[in-house]
Structure 1
Amino acid sequence: MVQGQGQDDLVEYGFRRVIITITAVLCALLEIVDTTIVNVALTNMRGSLGATLTDVAWVITAYAIANVIVIPMTSWLSQQFGRRNYFAVSIIIFTVASFLCGNATNIWELVAFRFIQGLGGGALLVTAQTIITESYPIAKRGMAQAIYGMGVIVGPTLGPPLGGYLVDHFSWPYIFYINIPLGIIATLLTLSFVRSPKYGEKLKANQVDWIGIVLLASFIGSLQFVLEHGQQDDWFNNKLIVLLSAISVFGLILFIWRQLTYKHPIVNLSVLKDGNLRIGTLMAFILGFGLYGSTLIIPIYTQSVLGWTATDAGLLLIPGSITTAFMMPIIGKLIQKGVPQGYMIALGFLIFFLFTLMMRNNMTPDTGVEHLYWSLILRGIGLGLLFVPITTLSLSTLSGKNIGEGAAFTGMMRQLGGSFGIAIITTFITRFNQEHRVNLVAHLDGSTYEVQQRLLLLQKGFMSKGFTSNEALNKAYQAIDYSVMKQSTVLSYMDIFMYLGIMFLCCIPVVFLIKKGKNKINPADAMH
């Protein structure tokens, strides 16, 4: 093995580099697949753990909160413990938590283990990227990032179909058990092949910004709880919601003050003085909102309303994600040629708006796969036009180590946007559902000829199956009630897509605030 000097100390060649690349991509995939694999299993988890839709959404949210808390602290933690050790310990935490998730006996145990799994997982993504980058010589780093980037894009797509297959053929705990053999292999490979860079001095325990860590965790955790439980706990009429809202607001203010004044901050906020980074983090937030929000609705709609299997619900998302993966290298090339990212982002938001419009128009209680297929391809094109341009734009006027810190911000805001999206969308689905149900029932006048005829037909149908006249009438009422419920659910999903679309449309003018940066930024720096 040949080695360069200085910053090339970690460059690997031949077999070692192949193994390190495989290890890092495997770990990034583990983390990303686990973000989406649970989406298709939510219905089964609700059944076997006796949980509500709001409770079960916490399985996704707890993981996301833990990710968001860890991502900004990752480079700092690597320096404290040495990168190889930190990476290996993260994989072990992730793997052990996966085993515990599969063995959870109630919903809150599962949520607690998912949180721990997220603490391990958040580290895998950012550290895997750094390890890949440093294992390649500078001339080949673009290629290294392309390999990593494809993994990052394909990951969310593998989740739902893989989850669906495991749920349909085994049971939901297997979506967690599948991580165990992969985690063990990744740990052994990491300990054998990955090396740590030589860092400067470590902070002593009394220099560590423990207060900052506590403030970051309390601000994000409280905010998330308020978003998740506000709807069912009647928002600000509930004392706990009021208390946690206050903790969240003061936690944020104190956290910002602490990071700006402390000598060794865990998150460098001064990097946000850059205008393009501020616009980029806002757009990353919106992107996360739309990306995770629509990924939440589509499997629930196809399973609970259309009655699809979990596997079919997962497979539906594949063509769109392949489209995104296909577009990534093309868009990377366009950015390198100097096509302004602003134009691509504006086009991406417009295409995402058209996707929400198509979804809204095609949603019925019995929509066929052919009506959803093209709108999801459109979503794939929109995501391709948003993902890399938003990240490269955010970093286009930064330099040096600020690029890494800026990338951590966009990654964190994308995750936070996803958490907000899931929380707000579950809240509004409940609200819209109640409204539509009330309106539909108001129009169902039992004395009208149409309703009478429908009841009579249903009653006759049930009587032909051997029910008595009274039983058949009860069944007929239940059937009408069920179809009202289905209609009101579909109408509430249509509303959600309409508002998502309006939100994306409103983002287009923000593009005009972008300053001209050094447009040919290396996409390698942008793939966080």
Structure 2
Amino acid sequence: MSEAAATVPAARTAMDKWLITLSVSFGTLMATVDSAIVNVAMSQIRSSIGATVQEITWTSTSFIIATVLVLPLTGFFSRLFGQKRTYLSCLALFILSSFLCGLASNLPLLVFFRALQGLGAGALIPTEQAILRQTWPPEEQGMAMGVFSVVITVGPAVGPTLGGYIVDNFHWSWIFFINLPIGLIGFLLVWRFVEEPEDVLAANRAAAALQRRNMDWAGIGLMWVGLATLQFVLEEGQRQDWFESTEITVCTLVACFTLAAFVLRELSAVAPAVELRLFKEPVFASGAVLGAVMFFILIANSFLMPLFMQEMLGFTAMQSGMALMPRTLVMIAVMPIVGRLYNRISPRVLIAVGLFIIGLGVYRMVDVSLDTGREDIMAAVMLQGLGTSLLFVPLNIVVFDKVERARMADAAGLNALMRQIGSSVGLALFATLMTRYTAQAQVGLSAHMVAERPELPERLSAAVSGLVAGGIEGFEATEGGLRLLAGTLQRQAALLAFNQLFTLSALLFAVALPLLGFLWLSPGHKPRQASPEEAQKEVHMDVEV
């Protein structure tokens, strides 16, 4: 580690560290829950405010675009206003906008308030990560990032289950109102317990003075236009048939030109709003890029699993959330353990084993069918939870190994942005492939539905007989039987598409293993055995807390 990165924070008791960790985790947990909870309530919200299926997607798109715009500016705001003030301001905006979302009576208002909510959520996760890195001493970074990984993992997993329960038992507005008491508790805890280290404050004051004399409005403008159009393309491209749409084509060109101009601007600016020069450090650059690739692959599985359960097996959103819950429980149990193993085992080894185990979990889903049971899914997701724990805890640590403490917020924001873009690209790709593979399978199956096949008339006759028994007769029964056969064909085509996509996802994990060779490690990072004093300290840590 560099001298700056290795600076040990002021001594804190175990209780201090855990209070600060608990305090900043409330806002992060809400932000991650909210990214998933709204999707469950889409149909109820749509019918309540009178929106079409296409229009209601903007409640999610506006949130994601706004979040992406703020992520890379986390360091910029932290320099100008301080990390604690930045976190509190964003949390206050998130709480207020959550309240306004619950009161929204029409689509434009809801989309606008969701955008405000995204602006508030954008800086919460990277600011928490920076605060934890500065609060915990170097030898305990594994535990700090283990807890952080648990927080950002629990949200997306709990969101659909919690959202399903709320919309089944209450008005949809409560998916937003539930943020108010939790957010207020988090706000008060941060206000009371979080203090910025003196060395970080001093460095930020000096950087803020230079920033104010050389405000990078051009860089901010180029970045916002570029990221907004890029995220729009990734969110809406599949729905608009990609480059068949003039709007998507124009936005893609705008994103390419403005982001290229943004990079040139930031590398030449006296006081850039976004510290792209951090990518000159190979440890950070390799870790951030590898994290983006991992999120690109993992999002495919996160997209496919609930979709398969709800579309093919008939699970409700809450049932699919409960089936996926063992993955979260495994991660909650294993991530802190992995954090303690970080100083003893090479990050490359932990990440490689994690990739292999996730790949095994995904491979178990390759031969899914309509007879796949809940137990089969739970066994697969538990393996995935174990592998994800081994993968992301060390990756969350090693990426910041050579980053100076005062630039931690910049690095955390850029790292979060890379992962968000990786997720968006992966989601867009697999959603497009799902549509394409289903259409191809449907064409292939249709070619075999010919009158000469003896089972076809038999199935049609059985379908018609069932409809007649239900009181439908004549032409309507025949037409209904044909529709049932067409539905069966479409269902089988979708099942074949899921088989292909799970296979592709498993292969991607295998292909990703060689990428670990590009992961740079800090020269000072060597797995070590705990001394007797450290071992005794670890034994007593949990008792003290």
Q: What TM-score range do you get, normalising by the shorter chain?
A: 0.7 to 0.9
Give the aligned length: 513
Is the 2:361–2:383 Cα contact (8 Å) retained in structure 1?
Answer: yes
Question: What secondary structure does 2:228 align onto?
Answer: helix
Equivalent residues in 2 for 1:254-293 (5 A)?
254-293=261-300
Distance 1:248 1:508, change over 3 A: same
CA spacing shift, 1:345–1:55, aligned 2, 3 Å: farther
1:52-131 alignment, distance < 5 Å = 52=53, 59-104=59-104, 110-131=110-131
Amino acid at match of 2:179: N
| Structure 1 CA distance for aligned equivalents of residues 285 and 195 of structure 2 | 34
Letter in 2 for 1:280: G
| Selected match of 2:471 from 466, 471, 485 | 466
User: 1:401 and 1:420 mapped to 2: Cα distance?
Assistant: 31
Contact 1:74–1:126 under 8 Å retained in 2: yes
1:352 correspondence with 2:358: yes
Aligned runs of 1:28-43 on 2, under 5 Å? Answer: 28-42=28-42
CA offsets per residue over residues 3-45 of structure 1, 9 Å max, x none? xxxx999877799877654331211211122222234445655
Q: Is 1:379 matched with 2:384?
A: yes
CA contact 1:39–1:299 (8 Å) conserved in 2? no
Aligned residue in 2 for 1:510 = 515
Q: Relative to 1, partners in 2 of residues 1:143 and 1:458: Cα closer, same or farther, differing over 3 Å?
A: closer
Letter in 1 for 2:443: V
Structure 1 residue 425 corresponds to structure 2 residue 430: yes
- 1:293: how far off? 2.9
- Once residues 447 and 365 of structure 1 are traced to their aligned partners in structure 2, the CA distance between those partners, rounded to angstroms, is 27
Deviation of the 1:109 alpha carbon: 5.0
1:89 partner SS:
helix
Q: Distance in 1 between matches of 2:378 and 2:172?
A: 26
Equivalent position amino acid for 2:311 in 1: S
Question: Which structure 2 residues correspond to residues 194-209 of structure 1 after superposition, within 5 A?
Answer: 194-195=194-195, 198=201, 199-201=204-206, 202-203=208-209, 207-209=214-216
2:252 matches 1:235: no
Q: Secondary structure at 1:37's aligned position in 2?
A: helix
Q: Do the aligned partners of 1:327 and 1:384 also contact (CA within 8 Å) in 2? A: yes
CA 1:394 to 1:21, structure 2 compared with 1: closer, same or farther past 3 Å? Answer: closer
Tell me if 1:210 matches 2:217.
yes
SS of residue paired to 1:336: coil
Q: What's the secondary structure of 1:316's corresponding residue?
A: helix
Whether 2:301 is the aligned partner of 1:294: answer: yes
Alpha-carbon shift at residue 102 of structure 1 (Å):
3.3
DSSP-derived class of the 1:361 partner: coil
The 1:384–1:239 alpha-carbon spacing in structure 2 relative to 1, beyond 3 Å, is same
Deviation at residue 521 of structure 1 after TM alignment: 8.9
User: Which residue does the alignment assign to 2:173?
Assistant: 173
- Could you say if the C-alpha distance between residues 270 and 433 of structure 1 is closer, same or farther in structure 2, counting changes exceeding 3 Å? same
Going from structure 1 to structure 2, the CA distance change for 1:415 and 1:330 (only over 3 Å counts) comes to same
Q: Displacement of 1:392 after TM fit? A: 2.9
Identical columns (%): 32
1:294-333 pair list within 5 angstroms: 294-333=301-340
Alignment of 1:495-506 (within 5 A): 495-506=500-511
| Cα distance in structure 2, aligned partners of 1:436 and 1:286 | 29
How far apart are 1:81 and its partner, in Å? 2.4
Amino acid at match of 2:356: L
Question: Highest relative contact order (Cα 8 Å, sep 6+), 1 or 2?
Answer: 2
Deviates most, 307-316 or 425-434:
425-434
Q: Whole-Å Cα distance in 1 between the matches of residues 474 and 227 of structure 2?
A: 57
Which residue does 1:525 correspond to in 2? none
2:390, 2:474 → 1: CA distance?
A: 60
TM-score by length of 2: 0.84
Shift of 1:88: 2.4
Is structure 2 residue 423 aligned with structure 1 residue 391? Answer: no
Partner-residue secondary structure (3-state), 2:472: coil
CA distance in 2, matches of 1:487, 1:104: 41
1:224 aligns to 2:224 (yes or no) = no
- 2:484 aligned with 1:479, yes or no? yes
- Structure 2 distance, partners of 1:347, 1:327, is 14
Whichever residue aligns with residue 296 of structure 1, its letter is: F
Q: How far apart in 2 are the matches of 1:409 and 1:313?
A: 33
TM-score (norm 1): 0.86
1:488 paired with 2:493, answer: yes
Within the candidate set 447, 451, 459, 2:456 is matched to: 451
SS of the counterpart of 1:443? Answer: coil
Name structure 2 gaps, 5 residues minimum: 1-6, 529-545
Deviations 1:228-254 (A, max 9, x none): 333343433433222211111111211
Once the two structures are overlaid, the 10-residue window that deviates more, 221-230 or 190-199, is 190-199
Looking at structure 1, the residues matched to 411 and 496 of structure 2 have their Cα atoms a distance apart, in angstroms, of 40
Deviations 1:473-501 (A, max 9, x none): 22212221222222222222222222222
Verify the 8 A CA contact 1:335 1:520 in the aligned structure 2: no
Shift of 1:361: 1.2
In 2, Cα distance between equivalents of 1:348 and 1:323: 13
| C-alpha separation in 2, matches of 1:138 and 1:385 | 19
More displaced 10-residue stretch of structure 1: 368-377 or 396-405: 396-405
Instruction: Tell me how far apart the structure 1 counterparts of residues 438 and 361 of structure 2 sit (CA, whole Å).
Output: 22
User: Is the 1:56–1:107 contact (alpha carbons within 8 Å) kept by the matching residues of 2?
Assistant: yes
Structure 1: gaps (5+ residues): 1-6, 523-528
Task: Measure the CA separation in 1 of the matches of 2:212 and 2:152.
Answer: 35
1:336 equivalent in structure 2: 343
